Structure 1
């Protein structure tokens, strides 16, 4: 498929996505791991805590700010986030009446592991030992656009989604693994690469946010020296391990506050803060509002 035909297909998919998203917002689908996104206006950079995900842009522009680096992707491009991580993102609708349209697919590590096993068994070599950042932009080539088209068709029918949805999401994982952004994703399921070792430590950290973590503890979980771990972590995520820990605690606190009526102090202690006043200061600095304002809002 040449570039002209791919451009036509992107526009066609954008039209279908526009029909599935009648107004601005995020839309759940019959598939739990698939969410549709529409933004009718430009947005200012906002901090998000993103789980491993694939985001396919079909119209407009999205940007991810990772440290000093800005990853920009627009219609016909996608973003792969291979680690649970915090970064800023914003949206450009490009022009009035032309909203940003994208599809968000949560990465399933078991699916990645199974697909990579089959790829290697079929003769595809293992990825190199070193990976770039844990975020990467890719071009939506013909196979990726084709599976996206078939996924949209399935989403229009609950029966089709129930019968074919899982296999289509699996195929989407496979096509992404074959793309230029596939290296960091493939390395997720091997402990020898930087992405895999850092992920292992992140899983331990997030399972015990209230623990008094030190870099040496996390480095031990990753089987790296403290200096090597610190460098790899910052290179991949754009944050130091301690910056990441604070951000993870604050985002978890925001979830807890939105779902419960517990006091800010109770939530602060649950996520690992020893000082409620420090928690309140960090929370307001991160989200622009005091924790009391987010209590019971189901964020």
Structure 2
């Protein structure tokens, strides 16, 4: 089945990078070459690799996945993704399904017996094996890309997505998936905090204020935030700032001082130090290096 999935993805991914499929929240990721670690803000999603191998790094934690493995991300996380195995003859091919809380909630009542629910917050990222029944559901969704009838995709894609969510909810990562949809879960509170930081990353934020906005004590907020994201709230904010500054310099040709100022740094020297600590090079040299690569490796 995995070979069949790879064949379908190869036919429906015309270029390296992210290929839209015409099915809501479903994209194909393709690369014909290995890449450098590329920092991105990864949204909640589940990623199924059909061919090749990739490593995703959160803080100092590495998650490697390949065919018959899947990556699940339950909260917006600043990660670095690196394709380890890919070639023109055997490109890296991955099917990414973005996770929609309402769709998950719609399946939860029938999928999860109350006795096995776990309310304890967990890391917002994990890698698991793909069971045969889950792979079958993924393949059924992918096969809709080969249908010549738009009505097939309109009617059957939501059913195939529902089966995938059902299989995931019953599997090893069911608790992570379920907490995405629960309004009162600790993960939901951390998600709200993440949204606050992302919307105001250029401002000086007080952890006490964020904790109050998500109805948590400061100590509980610190503990749960680090459990889910592998970093403190201020470290998370720093990652978002530096990623945005890098995007401005590469995509909009903004100079380093202006980019640092626009994301909240008052000192150019501090911005350069923290940038080099994160990316391994000072801003100017890093941007020159990234611009020398194919655009699909950093877009």
The answer to whether 1:15 aligns with 2:1 is no
Is 2:34 the counterpart of 1:46? no
**Which string of whole-angstrom CA distances, capped at 9 and with x for unpartnered residues, describes residues 175-204 of structure 1?**
222221121121123354432221121122
RMSD (Å), alpha carbons: 3.2
SS at match of 1:43: coil
Superposed displacement of residue 82, structure 1: 0.3
Which deviates further from its counterpart, 133-142 or 214-223? 214-223
**Aligned twin of 1:5:** none
1:76 to 64, 68, 79: 68
SS at match of 2:65: strand
1:134-145 → structure 2 map (5 Å cutoff): 134-145=124-135
Q: What SS does the corresponding residue of 1:89 show, helix, strand or coil? A: strand
Please state if 1:185 is matched with 2:185: no
Q: How big is the shift at 1:58?
A: 1.5
- Using the alignment, how far apart are the partners of 2:21 and 2:136 within structure 1? 19
Note the residue ranges of structure 2 that are not aligned, 5 or more in a row: none
Q: Does 1:197 align with 2:175?
A: no
**For the structure 1 residues 239 and 30, does the alpha-carbon distance in structure 2 shift closer, same or farther, using more than 3 Å as the test?**
same
The farther-off stretch of 101-110 and 224-233 is 224-233
Query: Which residues of structure 1 form unaligned runs of 5+?
Result: 1-8
Match of 1:169 in 2: 161
Which of 134, 138, 144 is the aligned partner of 1:154? 144
Aligned to 2:118: 128
Match of 1:58 among 50, 56, 63: 50
Note the C-alpha offset of 1:131.
3.3
Question: Could you say if the C-alpha distance between residues 251 and 161 of structure 1 is closer, same or farther in structure 2, counting changes exceeding 3 Å?
Answer: farther
The Cα shift of 1:151 comes to 1.4
Partner of 1:210: 202
* Counterparts in 2 of 1:209 and 1:126: CA distance versus 1, 3 Å: farther
Rounded Cα–Cα distance in structure 2 between residues aligned with 1:68 and 1:271: 24
Cα separation, partners in 2 of 1:31 and 1:281, compared to 1, 3 Å: farther
In 2, distance between residues paired with 1:261 and 1:39? 25
Find the aligned partners of 2:153 and 2:21 in 1 and give their Cα distance: 9
**Conservation of the 8 A alpha-carbon contact between 1:30 and 1:162:** no
User: How far apart in 1 are the matches of 2:238 and 2:42?
Assistant: 15
**1:116-170: CA deviations, max 9, x gaps?**
24546xx454621213311111222223212211211212346133343333333
Between the aligned partners of 2:14 and 2:76, the Cα distance in structure 1 is 30
Shift, 1:108, TM fit:
1.2
3-state secondary structure, aligned to 2:37: strand
Q: With the length of structure 2 as denominator, give the TM-score of the two structures.
A: 0.81
Give the length in aligned residue pairs.
Answer: 288
